[in-house]
Structure 1
Amino acid sequence: MSNASAVPRPWLLTLAALSALATLSTNILLPSLPVIASALQVDEAALAAAVLGLFLAVFALAQLVVGPLSDRLGRRPVVLGGLAIFVIGSAMCAAAGALPLLLAGRALQAMGVAAASVLARAAARDRFEGAQLAALLGRIMVVMAAAPGFSPLLGGLVQAALGWRALFVVLMVAGLALAAAYVGIVGETLPAERRRRQSAGALARGYVALLSDQRFMRPALATAAILGALFAFFGSAPLVLARDFGFSALQVGLFFATSVFVVFAAGQTAPRWTARWGAPAVLRLGAALAMLGGVAMLASGAAGLAGFVVTACLFLFGMGLVSPTGTALALTPFASQAGQASALLGFLQMAAAALLTTTAATLPGARMAALALVLAGGGLLALLSGAKRAAATARPS
């Protein structure tokens, strides 16, 4: 295995961009949902639920297919095929004159970005393991954190200047640019001699084995819980900022843009702390901080905007510690089935995102209190999942 510090920056940036494409595809639309709803003559709430919910559902399920497929065919053809599907779906969305065509395009987008997201993690696992993998994933997360932070601001600016259809043209260009970058910079990371040809039965048994393996499940569930809470934060924080604190769309975008720096700090800190204390300890610390952020947010109603910002940053820093360390712990023992393990990890993350986002949106009471409960719950679930050190002593298979 190579040294993580020796990874060429273009290689790292390409994998980070692949990982960020799914979040970009969702968050760039958020400021424009009212305009899209008006143009297509549909209810805004129904449009948001359909556009976001369908994307997450298809994204989650598609990952279960593309991961094992890449273990059999190699990473390159599956990534490029996925990006081609993503570009076609984006073109359909840009041309949509009615909701059904928009939703069909969103489904294709989700299928395509599933390949990009899963195989960015699998490609990293193909070349690294253990502390090196954790360090690389931390660096990837630092770069990809810009997507949820800056994409709403970017989306608002593009929509204001060129209209909502231009958002999907931007996504088309991003997909084409990533395909070119992958071919020219990353290439194939899984040699033919390491590929696995599995029957449907063997594939199912592989998933069952992963689900029953505590080396995978404990860090995977911790990562899924914390990222599910993060998606809930993306979905609910704009409403809290707008309704409770009077933020404009631009101010909401700027809030998310500045919050990126908290995740940057966590991504830079996680590798150093992992080298000092070990990944399981850093995972538990991050989960505890995330939970504390949610609890403090629930108790800080009287503190106003300052209280919301401080507690949100505490949650985001904890999340930034859990994500790369949990992912590395989940994937390291499974070198021979990295695609399948990454696919199942991604499925669990998106399932948790759908569940916790829906929970935050439907809990009764004030939006800030509902969000705080979900953030605290996600942190608690992550802490409980990472409570044992079983994963720390796992050896790669």
Structure 2
Amino acid sequence: MNSHSGNQARTDDGEAQNTGGLTARVIILLAALAAISNLSTNIILPAFPDIARQLKVAPQALGLTLSSFFITFAFAQLVVGPLADRYGRRRLVFGGLMIFVLGTFWAANAQTLDMLILGRVIQAVGVCAAAVLARAIARDLYEGEALARAMSLTMIATATAPGFSPLLGSLLNTALGWRALFVTVGIAALLIAVFYLKGIGETLPPARRTAQSLAAILNTYKRLAGNRRFILPALSTSLLMSGLFASFAATPSLLMAGIGLSSLQMGLYFAATVFIVFAAGLAAPRLAHRYGSKPVTLLGLVIACVAGALLVAGPADPGLGWYTLSMVMFLWGMGLANPLGTALTMSPFGREAGLASAFLGFLTMGLGAVSTWAISTPGYPPAVVLGITQSAACALAILCFSIYMRPSTEPAR
């Protein structure tokens, strides 16, 4: 199944067979599967003030729509992974997208904050299958440098979701109201489901599927947690991403309430950040080919840590220039470290890619829930809390990855 050059064919039962290397169609579909969860989160950020007014809650309380999503997403993935290894990718991806659509339209009709949170929880249950299995599908199809390239190109495309979705959300919120944002996301999920079935379909043939008991599944997760080749890069990547999620939660307060940008200006700001991630994603595989994936990943973590430290060292109410400097540095570091770290985490575990991807997603979303909850804590300047959260998370990531880079006496799998 793993291959490096050519095109993709399809068997009579709809199973995707990769007869070659990366194609634009595969990358776009993988990116769409990975991006829909970010789209559903970031598109609503500019509408937080309007949602708060209509639901009669404090804007800061809407942080619960983020943390509840991340917590549900984290635990649901632990179930999706083994199910996908047993029954294949196609059923889980399509079924998950349909559940996500139901949650999306529930949220669109929410009349209270509790109803909105429930809609977000249903969304998370469904969309986690698309996100976690995007990594597993990539691992099904590719390995080595091809896998690293696939992760990097997917990340570049995925960056358009958190980058451009606030701008789209601002325009839709102004023209049609915040409920239209959820309707738009639901329609996008339906389109992705159709294109997935036609464009990729099944990538895990029956011969490679594994049916495990609950005890065996738990044992596999335990083995992954104790395997330094998995847990150390997985923790490093997840801690880094928790800093990004923290910035999602803090940015509306920083840019709109603090600096005074309008929702449209904030949308444009987010859109401009896409190009930072785009450039870093293009640079990552090239730098990795020249210097090695591990040193480049460590460099990215260090850059992201310095970015968080800038916010801690700067004023409690930073101006647009200071905040932008920190944001650019963090996104550049994240753009280097995330795809390479993900590829390093997944590469040794092709036979259990679903479980490995699920565990990685659990760590990422679980730590993301903690970081967004921390940002929602009242009484402290958002910039300072964001800086502390990002620098602390990245410092821990650097520690984990430095240990990972040390020579190991662990026998090869």
TM-score range for the pair, normalised by the shorter chain length: over 0.9
Alignment-derived partner of residue 45 in structure 2:
30
How many residues get paired? 396
The one of 24, 27, 49 equivalent to 1:9 is 24
Which range moves more in the overlay, 350-359 or 55-64?
A: 350-359
Alignment-derived partner of residue 65 in structure 1:
79
**Which letter maps to 2:405?**
R
Match of 1:2, SS state, is coil
Cα gap change, 1:370 to 1:37, in 2 (>3 Å):
closer
Kept after mapping to 2: 8 A contact 1:333/1:395: no
The one of 346, 352, 360 equivalent to 1:337 is 352
1:93 matched to 2:101? The reply is no
Residue 237 of structure 1: how far off its partner (Å): 2.3
Separation of aligned partners in 2, 1:40 and 1:170? 20
1:389 matched to 2:413? The reply is no
Query: Structure 1 vs Structure 2: percent identity of aligned residues?
Result: 44
Alignment-derived partner of residue 374 in structure 1:
389
Q: Please list every run of 5 or more consecutive structure 1 residues that lacks an aligned counterpart in the other structure.
A: none
Separation of aligned partners in 1, 2:323 and 2:369? 23
Deviations 1:84-104 (A, max 9, x none): 101111121223333443333
Separation of aligned partners in 1, 2:408 and 2:332? 22
Residue 353 of structure 1: how far off its partner (Å): 0.7
Residue 306 of structure 1: how far off its partner (Å): 1.9
Kept after mapping to 1: 8 A contact 2:46/2:252: no
1:211 matched to 2:225? The reply is yes
Kept after mapping to 2: 8 A contact 1:215/1:390: no
Residue 321 of structure 1: how far off its partner (Å): 1.0
Which range moves more in the overlay, 111-120 or 90-99?
A: 90-99
Which range moves more in the overlay, 190-199 or 386-395?
A: 386-395
Separation of aligned partners in 2, 1:295 and 1:13? 35
Which runs of at least 4 in structure 1 moved beyond 6 Å after TM superposition?
391-396
Q: Please list every run of 5 or more consecutive structure 2 residues that lacks an aligned counterpart in the other structure.
A: 6-19
How is 1:288-327 mapped onto 2 (pairs within 5 angstroms)? 288-301=302-315, 304-327=319-342
How is 1:49-128 mapped onto 2 (pairs within 5 angstroms)? 49-128=63-142
Match of 2:77, SS state, is helix
**Which letter maps to 1:153?**
L
Residue 2 of structure 1: how far off its partner (Å): 2.2
Alignment-derived partner of residue 271 in structure 1:
285
Which range moves more in the overlay, 325-334 or 298-307?
A: 298-307
Cα gap change, 1:89 to 1:379, in 2 (>3 Å):
same
**Which letter maps to 1:156?**
S
The one of 197, 216, 227 equivalent to 2:211 is 197
TM, length-normalised to structure 1: 0.94
Cα gap change, 1:303 to 1:94, in 2 (>3 Å):
closer
1:137 matched to 2:151? The reply is yes
**Which letter maps to 1:323?**
N
Separation of aligned partners in 1, 2:302 and 2:204? 36
Deviations 1:160-180 (A, max 9, x none): 111222111101111110101
The one of 33, 37, 43 equivalent to 1:18 is 33
Residue 392 of structure 1: how far off its partner (Å): 9.5
TM, length-normalised to structure 2: 0.91
Deviations 1:324-372 (A, max 9, x none): 0111111111111100000000000011111122223338643222212
Residue 307 of structure 1: how far off its partner (Å): 2.3
Deviations 1:23-72 (A, max 9, x none): 111111112223223333344333x1332221111111100000110000
Alignment-derived partner of residue 357 in structure 1:
372
**Which letter maps to 2:138?**
A
Kept after mapping to 2: 8 A contact 1:333/1:396: no
Separation of aligned partners in 1, 2:165 and 2:140? 29
Cα gap change, 1:396 to 1:369, in 2 (>3 Å):
same
Alignment-derived partner of residue 198 in structure 2:
184
Match of 1:386, SS state, is helix
Which range moves more in the overlay, 100-109 or 138-147?
A: 100-109
Separation of aligned partners in 2, 1:163 and 1:363? 27
Which range moves more in the overlay, 289-298 or 207-216?
A: 289-298
Which range moves more in the overlay, 178-187 or 355-364?
A: 355-364
Cα gap change, 1:20 to 1:273, in 2 (>3 Å):
same
Cα gap change, 1:175 to 1:386, in 2 (>3 Å):
same
**Which letter maps to 1:322?**
A
Residue 394 of structure 1: how far off its partner (Å): 8.8
Separation of aligned partners in 2, 1:50 and 1:100? 10
Deviations 1:255-301 (A, max 9, x none): 11101111111100110111112111111110011111122333343
